[in-house]
């Protein structure tokens, strides 16, 4: 176990021993006073890999060179471009290649998945989710239900934290599933909560849902590329995630989808369809009668948006080179060190204190720490931003920080600590 110390020498020593230190130089940092900012918002938008421009330029060059024939003649043929993402993406989420596909945006994919997997029948007509889910998830559920003629107030079952607490205990979710088991058609939860950074026990939640006859899925916007996932082995029914946070693919980039093979090969499942989900062998016959590909690809609507997939490929290649197991190990060390530094400063402060609301247990969180700032709130956030520390503010009084293993360093955290000391003085 590492004995942490809030000192420049300790931080430099840790960086000198870091297996992933070389990847930091492969990313572009915003600048503050001609120096790299201290960037802690990879949980909102990951930094740009330097190679992204080359990957994107390749496709622009091929578009200019081949025109429409780039679908087949490009270095990475556009006809099947999404397929070059599949293997790396499947490994990241613990899936088989037939269970994942890159397509659309996250909220679009959640609507598509709910069309298939929310099948209300009789009394079993509710969707269970965590209270205060990410707003987009709330809106997806509300509007999806309304589109089916169902009242969200009657058909969404929210699990709230116990009074006076921020976190939602896994056991409370499981107990709620058991209590309302004959009413729940679908469980859909954010695997890592965007606000608190809490990592839910997706395996146990899935088991509980299946025991009462419900379908179980997850929004993994804050999970993919951040925490270890074993979606196939956990028997999760469906999941979706964005790729622009911990997967560094650029603002609003393509989403990923997981559909367990017990479903993905079932041609009879209801879905909203488009021509790119049609069987490849006869897709271009242009005939009536949708015949879905017997994999997650069968949920595709349109051909690959190559110019947003190219940056995703650039990042996936870096992650493959780094090794996700190495990223997880460094993530735990970085986040633990950030927690240590914040506690050290809070212990010596007089008019200000910091309360980390993210679980202290490293197995129940990812890279993110969410911090209540007692005594200074938005004022502190503004000070940090003006002094080259990019964090994220969430009402009413939370600063979110995510030390990302590919480009954040221990010296980053030490430097943040020194700026934080000055801020509260």
pLDDT in tens, 101-155: 999 999 999 999 999 999 999 999 999 999 999 999 999 999 999 999 999 999 9
Mean pLDDT over residues 239-268, rounded?
Answer: 97
Delineate the domains of the chain, giving CATH numbers in brackets: 8-50+323-424 (3.90.1150.10), 81-320 (3.40.640.10)
| Model confidence band, residue 424 (pLDDT cutoffs 50, 70, 90) | confident
Helices of type H across 226-300: 261-264
* Whole-prediction pTM: 0.96
Element at 44 (helix H, strand E): none
Measured in whole angstroms, the distance separating CA 118 from the mean position of its chain's CA atoms is 22
Query: Do residues 363 and 336 touch, judged by C-beta distance below 8 A?
Result: no
How is residue 317 written in tokens? 């290649």
Which of the two residues, 39 and 350, has the higher pLDDT score? 39
Which one, of 245, 252, 250, lies nearest residue 392 by Cα? 245
What's residue 207's pLDDT? 98
The pLDDT of residue 20 is above 90:
yes
Across 59-77, average pLDDT = 98
Q: What percent of the chain has pLDDT over 70?
A: 100
Distance, in Å, from the CA atom of 413 to the CA atom of 401, rounded to the nearest integer, reads: 11
Does the bond joining 396 to the residue before it have cis omega, within 30 degrees of 0?
Answer: yes
- What is the average pLDDT score of the chain? 96
Q: What is the pLDDT of residues 339-392, one digit of tens each?
A: 999 999 988 887 788 899 999 999 999 999 999 988 777 889 999 999 999 999
Helix (H/G/I), strand (E/B), else coil: 175: helix
Residue 140 near residue 111, CB atoms below 8 Å:
yes
């Amino acid at each position: 176990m590492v004995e942490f110390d809030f000192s420049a020498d300790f931080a430099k020593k840790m960086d000198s021993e870091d297996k992933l230190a070389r990847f930091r130089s492969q990313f572009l940092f915003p600048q503050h006073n001609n120096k790299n900012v201290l960037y802690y918002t990879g949980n909102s938008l990951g930094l740009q890999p330097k190679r992204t421009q080359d990957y994107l330029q390749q496709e622009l060059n091929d578009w200019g060179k081949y025109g429409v024939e780039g679908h087949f003649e490009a270095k990475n043929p556009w006809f099947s471009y999404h397929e070059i993402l599949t293997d790396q993406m499947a490994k990241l989420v613990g899936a088989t290649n037939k269970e994942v596909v890159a397509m659309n945006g996250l909220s679009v994919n959640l609507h598509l998945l709910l069309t298939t997997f929310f099948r209300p029948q009789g009394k079993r007509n509710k969707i269970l989710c965590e209270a205060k889910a990410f707003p987009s998830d709330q809106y997806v559920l509300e509007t999806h239900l309304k589109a089916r003629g169902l009242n969200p107030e009657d058909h969404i079952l929210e699990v709230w934290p116990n009074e006076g607490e921020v976190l939602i205990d896994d056991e409370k979710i499981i107990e709620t599933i058991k209590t309302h088991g004959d009413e729940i058609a679908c469980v859909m939860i954010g695997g890592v909560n965007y606000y608190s950074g809490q990592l839910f026990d997706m395996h146990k939640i899935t088991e509980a849902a299946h025991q009462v006859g419900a379908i179980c899925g997850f929004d993994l916007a804050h999970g993919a590329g951040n925490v270890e996932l074993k979606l196939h082995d956990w028997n999760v029914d469906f999941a979706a995630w964005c790729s622009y946070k911990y997967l560094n693919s650029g603002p609003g980039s393509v989403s990923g989808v997981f559909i367990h093979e017990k479903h993905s090969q079932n041609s009879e499942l209801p879905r909203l369809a488009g021509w790119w989900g049609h069987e490849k062998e006869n897709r271009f016959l242009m005939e009536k009668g949708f015949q879905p590909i017997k994999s997650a690809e069968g949920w595709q609507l349109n051909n690959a948006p190559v110019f947003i997939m190219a940056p995703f490929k650039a990042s996936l290649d870096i992650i493959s080179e780094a090794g996700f197991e190495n990223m997880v190990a460094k993530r735990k060390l970085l986040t633990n060190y950030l927690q240590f530094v914040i506690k050290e400063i809070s212990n010596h402060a007089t008019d200000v204190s910091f309360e980390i609301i993210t679980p202290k247990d490293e197995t129940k969180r990812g890279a993110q720490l969410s911090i209540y700032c007692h005594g200074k709130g938005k004022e502190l956030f503004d000070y940090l931003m003006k002094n080259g520390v990019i964090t994220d503010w969430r009402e009413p009084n939370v600063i979110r920080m995510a030390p990302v293993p590919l480009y954040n360093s221990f010296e980053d955290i030490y430097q943040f600590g020194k700026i934080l000391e000055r801020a509260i003085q």
